[in-house]
Amino acid sequence: MAPELQLTLLKEALEDPDAGTDCHGFPRKLWNALGGVVFVGVSANCNPPEYNCYPEVPLTALRSVLLERAERSVDTFTPAKAD
């Protein structure tokens, strides 16, 4: 996956309201979806923040929003420019 696409997906990700924060105060879990895949980003406890991402579907209130986002295609998604 292109770095710009990864950056955009993390920037617009939804914080898991039940996951709390890591040791640096960043969200412990972030959720997003694209191209039929819902994924969770799990904090690597780094500063600046880094997330390891895995396909998964939450059983929380975020589920409906993420399933809607999963219907977006990679072709129509606009990545952010890397800093």
Closest CA to 2 of 66, 32, 12, 10: 10
Name the one residue in this structure whose structure tokens are 């039940």.
Answer: 18
- Give pLDDT, residue 41: 93
- Give pLDDT, residue 64: 84
In this model, does residue 79 exceed pLDDT 80? no
In this model, does residue 43 exceed pLDDT 80? yes
Measured at the CA of 56, the angle between CA 4 and CA 2, to 5 degrees, comes to 15
- Give pLDDT, residue 1: 64
pLDDT digits (tens, 9 = 90+) for 3-42: 788 888 889 999 999 999 999 999 999 999 888 888 899 9
> Which residue ranges make up each domain of the chain?
3-71
What are the backbone dihedrals phi and psi of residue 72, each rounded to the nearest 5 degrees, phi first?
Answer: -70, 150
Mean pLDDT for the chain overall: 86
- Give pLDDT, residue 78: 72
